[in-house]
Structure 1
Amino acid sequence: MNTPPTSPAAGRTEGSSVRIGALVPLTRPGWVEAGRHLLAGLELAVREVNDAGGIAGRPLELVVRDTAADPNRAVAAVDELARLGVAALAGEYHSVVARAAAARADALGLPFLCSSAVLDALTEEPTEWVARLAPAQSQGWKIYADFLRGAGHNRIAVAAEPSVYWASGARVLRDHLAPRGGTVIELDMRGLTPAAVCDALVDHRATVLLLLVGNPEPAVSIVTSVRRDRRLAELMIGAPAGQPEFAEWARLLGEDGAAIPFLRYLPERLSPLGVRVATALRERLAEAPSFVAFEGYDTVTVLADVLRSHGTVRARTAASWPHVAVEGTRGQIRLSRTPGISVWQWAWPPIHVADRDPAELGRFRILHSG
């Protein structure tokens, strides 16, 4: 953990409002739809906090910065937000971006509650300044590997782009499946067209193809190519990172986007709070909210509780992580030190494997629970 330098802005907020900095991917090459859902959840929670009296009578203000899936841009945003005197940081969807933001927040002594990024090594060294609500990748992807094994699959191909996140996911799958007789075959998407992917799947006799690639491209093109190839009629396509969760997936692929299992961080049944928030998010988004929208809402809910209870001094906020006990939309949220995880972690939010129902694309089926 780094000892932060003294800053005029550290430990206070400026003006009459209490500010939270929000890191969100809102433009390409960021996953824009995920960013839109994340921001909707953050904004809804801020509105409700203010309707309930704010933070000790002071309004809560969200200061939003677009990361566009760019780690350097995220670091610059963290620096700017720190200078603006935000009490804490919230948000971010992309793991590699969140990792860069977390490192900078740690260096500056700025509390960061990460909403959605799952990369296990969110910081290189243990830190008191960063906490996370999303499950660690090793936890979720092991559950996905168990689902594949339970479904009888032992020859799994992964179409992967170069990324620390995708490489980490492939390693989790390989390490979990290999001792149980599974084989993970990596297809490097830097040199393969979607048609060449189909040929490779036939050559390797794979029974599953996992999409460890960007959305919508090349994910959509790969799915379309595989679905059209008669040689692969029995092949299952999977997307552990959650691409099919979003409405854009169904709009672009139609029935081809159904029956593609992915990781979803929602309970089988929402609590009354979750149902109420889901209704409000649907109205705000004009579509069904994804689990990412709930992550955003829960992030502000936790931070608001901490700021009410412990004040807005940054060091006190960071020191409060182990005392968090907040009812979120997806269950009781508590933060703890988890082996192998360098940040304070909710262990764990609900995790299950789901897909879109071929009979009704807007309906999700739960296939396996963690």
Structure 2
Amino acid sequence: MTSPLSTVVAALALCWSAAHAQGTIKIGEINSYKAQPAFLEPYKKGMELAVAQVNAAGGIAGKQLQLVTRDDNASPGDAVRAAEELLTREKADVLMGSFLSHVGLALTDFAQQKKRFFLAAEPLTDKIVWEQGNRYTFRLRPSTYMQVAMLVPEAAKLQKKRWAIVYPNYEYGQSAVATFKKLLQQAQPGVEFVAEQATPLGKVDAGSVVQALQDAKPDAIFNVLFAADLAKFVREGNTRGLFQGRGVVSLLSGEPEYLDTLKGETPEGWIVTGYPWYAIQTPAHQAFLDAYQQRFKDYPRAGSIVGYNAILSIAEGLKKTGGSADTEKLIAAFRSLEVNTPFGPITYRAQDHQSTMGAYVGKTALRQGKGVMVDFSYQDGSKFQPSDDEVKKLRKGQ
């Protein structure tokens, strides 16, 4: 027989649990932590810093943010299962995350099917906000189109006619190459593409790739490889002299997570997008840098900024809803949402749900045996977008 005292205790515990749940906004985050640790370990730190800062400032409408992460094993199927588990078991209020483009597209589709808000933090494929875009999905990071568009003016200045291309053979790489060809031909009529090497993601045969590019005798190279594939390609290219006397334009290669891996092998003079954290002289970035280094005793990577800005975006959206994580209210809040970030103010475009977060464009150099970016400038993402009419056609009425 249950005693009156135990009944009271159980009731109090139930009330406390309900009150505790009501005082928390749970963010469910899915990502390829095991497959892409160089980017995603700093990314997680960036998220944790932002959550701590938001909560220390009183949270959102008196509610504390709680971050719950899941690994997607770089698999679209596993990502969808993780998202389902976050919603049903963990009772996540908001979904965000993903790194690889094909995984991000799977989660974009999941968000539409379940009619739940999803912030795609990192995947770069244009399809997330255009061809396969939907009303439930927003994207933070500057897209493939945006970052390639930032590089093309510098590529055209090289005045090289014969270009070779190397890229990972999945959505992100394919999209980057298609955009580069289109925009460079517009900027420099008569340009030729004399070789194209599409490699399996994470499994580049660097020797054969470098040899094929050398055989084509290009004037310049456009590279889209990243992470371990990039390191193998650079090492083999340096050994065989592939880069000597040739212009190289390389997407993402100025990010510290990749330059750190290259170390003294970093080729000099490549035109890249990246994140020169050590030389950005703005109050907003300095405040972020100081807080990050104080908390983690380490310097930030590009992933750190993305994770930090993603949580700031969620927090700002929740502020506009008065702390409600209702999907329809969040969608309305995110359309034209303005967020102050370490890179300056950004806006989520109402027409395609893409943020205007930009990137730094500069050149690689060696300093004291380490790869760095020099001669860089910040490129505002709002200036590297197709017209609204083009976006409307791409989204097909979404």
Settle same-fold status: TM greater than 0.5.
yes
1:266/1:131 Cα in 2 relative to 1: closer, same or farther (>3 Å)?
farther
Partner residue, 2:358:
350
Letter in 1 for 2:182: D
Distance, in Å, in 2 between the alignment partners of 1:351 and 1:298 is 13
SS at match of 2:291: helix
Equivalent runs, 1:10-21 vs 2, <5 Å: 14=21, 16-21=23-28
Distance apart, 1:77 and its partner CA = 1.4
**Structure 1 segment 263-302 matched on structure 2, within 5 A:** 263-264=273-274, 269=280, 271-302=282-313
Aligned residue number for residue 61 of structure 2: 56
Using the TM superposition, name which of 247-256 and 220-229 deviates more: 247-256
Moved over 6 A (4+): 265-268
Kept after mapping to 2: 8 A contact 1:147/1:353: no
Select which of 334, 337, 343 maps to 1:324. 337
How far does the alpha carbon of each residue in 1:202-249 deviate from its partner, in whole angstroms, 9 at most, with x for none? 322213333333521x32222111112246522344430x14413454
Give 5+ residue unaligned stretches, structure 2.
Answer: 1-19, 380-398
CA drift of 1:282 comes to 3.2
The answer to whether the aligner puts 1:312 opposite 2:331 as a matched pair is: no
Q: 1:173 corresponds to which residue?
A: 180
Aligned mate of 1:134, from 138, 141, 146: 141
Q: CA deviation at 1:125?
A: 4.3
- Structure 1 stretch displaced more, 163-172 or 207-216: 207-216
Deviations 1:70-98 (A, max 9, x none): 21111111111221322212222222211
Paired residue type of 2:344: G
Q: Deviations over 1:322-353 (max 9, x none)?
A: 25222122121221234xxxx4112x222332
Q: Point out where structure 1 has 5 or more consecutive residues left out of the alignment.
A: 1-12
Alignment of 1:182-201 (within 5 A): 182-184=191-193, 185-189=195-199, 193-201=205-213
Give me the whole-angstrom Cα distance separating, in 1, the residues matched to 2:135 and 2:366. Answer: 45
Counterpart code for 2:61: A
Q: Distance in 1 between matches of 2:110 and 2:307?
A: 21
Give 1:172 shift. Answer: 0.6
Report Cα offsets for 1:103-130 as digits up to 9, x if no partner.
Answer: 1012112211222222111164442211
SS of the aligned residue for 1:86 comes to: coil
Report which of the two structures shows the higher radius of gyration computed on alpha carbons.
Answer: 2
In the alignment, is the contact (CA less than 8 A) between 1:270 and 1:330 conserved in 2? Answer: no
**Alpha carbons of structure 1 residues 163 and 356: separation in structure 2 relative to 1, 3 Å:** same
Checking the alignment, whether the CA contact within 8 Å between 2:30 and 2:96 is kept in structure 1 is yes
- CA contact 2:117–2:330 (8 Å) conserved in 1: yes
Task: Judge which range, 87-96 or 53-62, deviates more.
Answer: 87-96
TM-score by length of 1: 0.85
Output the CA distance in 1 between the equivalents of 2:92 and 2:364.
40
> Residue 86 of structure 1 corresponds to which residue in structure 2?
92
Tell me which moved more, 109-118 or 179-188.
179-188
Alignment-derived partner of residue 391 in structure 2: none
Counterpart residue identity of residue 120, structure 1: D
Match of 2:128 among 116, 122, 126: 122
For residue 45 of structure 1, report the CA deviation from its aligned partner.
0.5
Give the equivalent residue in structure 1 for 2:12: none
Q: Which amino acid aligns with 1:366?
A: D
Check if 1:365 corresponds to 2:355.
Answer: no
Q: Distance in 1 between matches of 2:110 and 2:214?
A: 45
Q: Aligned partners of 1:265 and 1:250: how far apart in 2?
A: 12
- Following TM superposition, by how much is the alpha carbon of 1:59 offset from its aligned partner in structure 2, in angstroms? 1.4
- Does residue 112 (structure 1) correspond to residue 118 (structure 2)? The answer is yes
C-alpha deviations, 1:47-75, integer Å up to 9, x for none?
A: 00110111222211001111232211111
Decide whether the 8 Å contact of 1:37 with 1:285 is kept in 2.
no
SS of structure 2 residue aligned to 1:135: coil
Q: Secondary structure in 2 aligned to 1:357?
A: strand
Q: Please, which of 312, 329, 349 is the counterpart of residue 336 of structure 1?
A: 349
Shift of 1:44: 0.6
Which one has the bigger helix percentage?
A: 2
